[in-house]
Amino acid sequence: MRPVSDRAQANLVALAVALLALTAVLGVALVVADGALSGADREAGERRVAVSLSDRLVAADGPVSARANVLDAAALDALDSATLDRQFPVADGHDVRIRLGDRTLVETGDVTDGTTMRRIVLVERETTATLTPNLTADGSVTIPRRTDDVTLQVAPPTGVAVTTVRANGRVVLHDPAGIRGTVTVPVSRFETTTLAFDASRTLPTGSVDVTYYPTQTTKAVLVVTVDA
């Protein structure tokens, strides 16, 4: 039988080894836990920015919106990193990518992963159309598409004067001496517009050209990715 002192020393060595092993295990666990917490904080931050940025992009008063959830195509075409930094400060300090369907609108930094928000939106693009109405019947024409404005090119033949122009019964132009030249008048985009022309005598075809600005609307998916 070994002396008691030998057994005591052996027990101390075993205890030291056990404590060392326990410390190592706790250290690894703390590192893993700290990494998990850091990852959770990063993901929460990415999500907050991604949600805020996507909300602002589709807001009714947003810099690229025509109205709520309807994006202005021309404003989207002009969106770049400088515009993003200036008009969407919530994205400052983050790597961001904004896509519309399969097209990347803007990307800042190096977006490799991150948190993504998707929204179904409408994209509105203004177009231009011109018609030359036949005014010989009753001196009026109904514009086939709704529009915010109409531009009139008034050029009646010599001796004929266009004195008044009405939009849905409302006088928008009046000149007893005669209206000539190019003029743009606002109309309501919420209703179909009928223009009526009062003239000193019947206006032959070609006396008036009407240019209007209808919009084309398409559905798309807006994808916002934030990589902290």
Mean pLDDT for 191-197 is 97
> CB within 8 A of 143, min separation 6: which ones?
131, 150, 192, 193, 194, 195, 210, 212
Domain membership of residue 72 as a residue range: 1-125+215-228
Question: Quick one: 103 and 138 in the same domain?
Answer: no
Q: What single-letter amino acid sits at 147?
A: T
Question: Quick one: 85 and 171 in the same domain?
Answer: no
| Percent of the chain clearing pLDDT 70 (strictly above) | 82
Question: Quick one: 224 and 208 in the same domain?
Answer: no
The pLDDT value recorded for residue 26 is: 46
Question: Quick one: 7 and 119 in the same domain?
Answer: yes
Comparison of pLDDT for 228 and 107, the residue scoring more = 107
The pLDDT value recorded for residue 52 is: 94
| pLDDT higher than threshold 80 for residue 109 | yes
Domain count, the chain: 2
The band of 16, judged by pLDDT with boundaries at 50, 70 and 90, is low
Question: Quick one: 185 and 105 in the same domain?
Answer: no
Does pTM surpass 0.85? no
* 72, β-bridge pairs: 124
The pLDDT value recorded for residue 15 is: 60
Question: Quick one: 54 and 11 in the same domain?
Answer: yes
Mean pLDDT for 177-198 is 96
Could you write out the three-class secondary structure of 70-121?
EEEHHHHHCCCHHHHHHHCHHHCCCEEEEEECCEEEEEECCCCCCEEEEEEE
Question: Quick one: 149 and 222 in the same domain?
Answer: no
Contacts made by residues 102-110, CB under 8 angstroms, sequence distance 24+: 105/76, 105/79, 106/79, 106/80, 106/81, 107/81, 108/81, 108/84, 109/227, 110/227
Question: Quick one: 60 and 78 in the same domain?
Answer: yes
Mean pLDDT for 8-20 is 58
Question: Quick one: 86 and 193 in the same domain?
Answer: no
CB 66 within 8 A of CB 117: no
The pLDDT value recorded for residue 70 is: 97
Cβ–Cβ contacts within 10 Å for residue 58, how many? 20
